[in-house]
Chains A and B, each alone.
Chain A
């Protein structure tokens, strides 16, 4: 590297201009992202949620699953005592649910499920979607035909409808019971969402594969696998990153919706959607067991959207919608 810098320097001296350190496109994008205030706020919120989820075992004051003493059921958050509520208990900062379980502890453990559902299926989607999209776009032929026919059918179903019918029918099977239904949700989400990414990657590859730099690589005998990995992949990464940034909150939202409908993660494992479902029965008298998880979902989803918007603006300023 040292010689390169001096060579640049020498050339710059010859031309009589000031040599400037080269900045990569990625560094530029990072700089733009860091100047986006909403994206920074989003990242901080996600960071806090991740720390809470990771250390829920240490931070949570109670066990989220075992029942506490029932006389302490449906306690209200401690600040409501200043507004005349008699049902507060200093032990339960955010109150308790109908079974006397501490809401704060349950919210903390539920953050785990939400984040895991956000990241694990999306990694699967990335692996499957990017590989198939790349093969389909670059090689064409029957792989491409098959993919396009398959996407036509998947697109006739709205995502959530498909997800609901897969999860509803398979959750009673042995497979649907692994980890309280978590694995089924991972797989179902992956099955539905890889198609969109594959289509995106395919389109990008199609637009690039006749460009000069790919032709040049082909001319000097670079094997197809290497062209795809070393030459095509880095050039399509930006839209893929943006699409994944939006897929994460999408997956979290899907899990919350399923749990809210009562066909998501099995109780007693706490999830934000499940807490809303369980608390809704007593909503008109004690709204807190529903309002608090609703607040958590909204905050985290907004945070991810802000980061996604920031990434989109940073990586491709032309894509602004």
Chain B
């Protein structure tokens, strides 16, 4: 087990190296320089050269990559080209909000999807089962920004019940959290239902029943305990879902997190910002996946971790 954990952790290094290589190459392939934005008053040749020298853009490309990697290792993510501030500061400013939104959404998703999946499995082929399947299908199919639009229209524009611009009070958080939770929640509902359906048909559940346990004890103590193991594995993909969801939801609701920052830096061709944020996202998702694999091995010793 320990060897497996160490191997998985070591695998982060080559993977992050390639992620860095890909983002670096793509940023290089992008046309235009960050300094040629003002068309009517272009910078003089001399100023341009000074800028390029200052940001190290006059060096050979492999050298630029090595410098970039070295800086990454030291935690220096570069300077944002649009706001002239260190990328680390900008990310640090937004990461709290984004993390809060993500955690709230994940908790909310778990809170509604697991009970819904369980009820739906216990009452298979009843109206409540069909309802939860419909919710799961709609939730996984309709993109978050489309759901958000309908909600903003109903609760924000028509009835003025909830604000839909900004962040701060709990009212501001209701809609972004709900929309962000919907996708992973719907997915989790499906998984919980399927795995619960399988669990309640197992022999050990029949044994538990036949020895006269109360129905509640059978479901909670025996079936559910095993049914939730596959659910744990979904939390990795859910983290990915929350991250990609966050930059759309944050832009839509003007939430001051790194998701919105990411979209703004893409539109403003702020490459140091785009590259660093991409690296950060890839890192978070990789850690989530590794954690899930390890937790899975602990929860279910039958899984061989080779």
Contacts and interface: CB of A to CB of B under 8 A. Distances in A.
Interface of A: 152-153, 155-161, 164-166, 168-170, 172-173, 249, 253, 256-257, 260-263, 276, 280, 283-284, 287, 290-291, 294, 297-298, 301-302, 305-306, 309, 320-321
Most chain B CB within a 10 A radius of its CB, from A155, A165, A280, A297:
A165
B10 to A, nearest CB: 13
Interface stretch (B52-60, B67-75, B135-143): B135-143
Given A172-B30, A261-B251, A294 B146 contact: yes
B235 interface: no
Interface stretch (B38-46, B205-213, B281-289): B281-289
A158 B241 contact: yes
B44 to A, nearest CB: 24
A78 to B, nearest CB: 19
A152 B27 contact: no
Interface string B126-156: 0000000000011011110110011011001
A157 B22 CA distance: 11
Given A161-B243, A173-B29, A260-B248, A253 B152 contact: no
Interface of B: 11, 15, 18-19, 22-23, 26-27, 29-32, 137-138, 140-143, 145-146, 149-150, 152-153, 156-157, 190-191, 194, 240-241, 243-244, 248, 251-252, 263, 266-267, 269, 271, 274, 278, 281-282, 285-286, 289
Nearest to A254: B143
B31 A172 contact: yes
A321 B282 contact: no
A158 B285 contact: yes
Interface of A, helix, strand, loop or mixed by DSSP: helix
B157 A287 contact: yes
B149 A291 contact: yes
A165 B156 contact: no
A297 B143 contact: yes
A156 B243 CA distance: 13
A110 to B, nearest CB: 14
A156 B156 CA distance: 37
A205 to B, nearest CB: 21
Contacts of A261: 248, 251, 263, 266-267
Contacts of B285: 156-158
Contacts of B278: 161, 165
Contacts of A287: 153, 157
A284 B156 contact: yes
16 contacts: A158-B244, A161-B244, A161-B282, A165-B26, A169-B30, A169-B274, A172-B30, A173-B31, A257-B145, A260-B248, A263-B266, A283-B149, A283-B152, A291-B149, A305-B141, A321-B190
Contacts of A302: 137-138, 141-142
B35 to A, nearest CB: 15
A249 B143 CA distance: 11
Contact of A157 (B11, B19, B153, B194): B19
Most chain B CB within a 10 A radius of its CB, from A153, A155, A320:
A153
Contacts of B282: 156-157, 161
